[in-house]
Amino acid sequence: MPINNNNEFTNKIVPCFPNELEIEVREGLEKVGIEHVSLIVLSEGMDIVFENLESLSKRISISKRISESIESYIESTLCNKKNTLNFTYDNVLENRIFDHKKLSTITKHLSKYSIFCPLNYEHKMVAIFHSVESLSDHQTKQLELVSNIMAAWSNSWVAHNTMMHFWKKYSEPKNIDVTSTLTKSEFNVLELLIKGFTGPEISSIRNVSKETVRTQIKSILHKTHCHSQNQLISRFSQAQWTMNCHHRGVYS
């Protein structure tokens, strides 16, 4: 199963949770004995769109080694029953792990707890937890609760980024040849709108009636398929489209 890491949602830097919740989750994981947490969100096409690998207790440093074998970890976790925390010993990290707390090496395999949860928009969350010692039944139940919180957060992250993805497409300037659809007067009015002038101010600058300006603005909105002046200004000011147009305004 190919795992890619080239989706536009990819986010490896931002904190996993809002500050208060992030602290609570970290403390909860540490209390049950988790030394390292890996949180991955996969898109419908199996792209890694979010990845956060983090040592919690600083007792062991395995983030780099997990990152190098991330595909193996993801594939093995996806074989689990969904929404079910699975325990096994880690057979991927074959070399000895240094225990910073005891200043010694750990010769036995680390305990690994993993879970995958289906998310909205055909995404999936994969969470992998490592501990030096195996967890008790009580600790395992607590870990399951934390996993549910992480799944809920992952769903909200996916929903937010999906919304922003479609909003970006919606708010982008349409493929319109502005120079051929707008008259020179309309073009100049649009330039002034982008510069922050109001309708009455444009009327005064251009020495025309306010009604003329209102009519021109309505025509501009119609030709550019914008629903409001705010949307019009947002689209074209962000694109800085005036820099490459042939019909430069006289009020630049």
pTM of the model: 0.65
pLDDT digits (tens, 9 = 90+) for 135-184: 999 999 999 999 999 999 999 999 998 888 888 777 665 555 555 688 88
Domain that holds residue 92: 19-170
pLDDT digits (tens, 9 = 90+) for 74-114: 999 999 999 999 999 999 987 788 888 888 888 889 999 99
Q: What is the Cα–Cα distance from 62 to 92, expressed in whole angstroms? A: 11
**Residues 6 or more apart whose Cβ sits within 8 Å of residue 138:** none
**Same domain as 119, residue 63:** yes
Instruction: Output the CA torsion 142→145→150→151 (10° steps).
Output: 140
How far are the Cα atoms of 86, 213, 250 from residue 190, in angstroms, in the given order? Answer: 60, 10, 12
Average pLDDT, the chain: 83
Q: Where a domain ends, among 170, 204, 234?
A: 170
Amino acid at 107: T
Annotate 152-173 with b (16+ C-beta within 10 A) or e (fewer).
ebbbebbeebeeeeeeeeeeeb
- Determine, yes or no, domain membership for 251: no
- Determine, yes or no, domain membership for 206: yes
Q: CB–CB of 123/41 below 8 Å?
A: yes
CATH number at residue 217: 1.10.10.10
Q: In what order do the strands lie in the sheet with 36-42?
A: 48-55, 36-42, 124-131, 111-118, 86-89
So what's the pLDDT on residue 70? 95
**Same domain as 154, residue 193:** no
250 alpha-carbon distance from chain centroid = 42
**Same domain as 208, residue 94:** no
CATH number at residue 164: 3.30.450
